[in-house]
Structure 1
């Protein structure tokens, strides 16, 4: 999975989690929404680090001695 696809799907989870929290009236629905949004936030952070790592790998492939 590319960093872009991971970021888009993770952002979708964040949005869905926020919508669940906004619509929910019970505490357990809020817990589910916060959990879904939290998983999406972790996915966004993972996409960022994946993109940085891939860029570093490309740079080191083009410049093996520094």
Structure 2
């Protein structure tokens, strides 16, 4: 019975990700322009953060 909750949480993550993408894109452009940080490095860090949050929430449920 736990599976539907899992799928809903994944859907919420995806919607949040899309919603935050616009804001994070502005922030990433600011970082790239101001501090000359590599854009792919920022994207990789964001993906790792997202995966870490998903793992944390799944561990919390068990």
Q: Which has the higher contact order (CA 8 A, sep 6+)?
A: 1
* TM-score range normalised by the length of the shorter chain: 0.3 to 0.5
Q: TM-score, normalised by structure 1?
A: 0.42
**Structure with bigger gyration radius:** 1
TM-score where L is the length of structure 2: 0.44
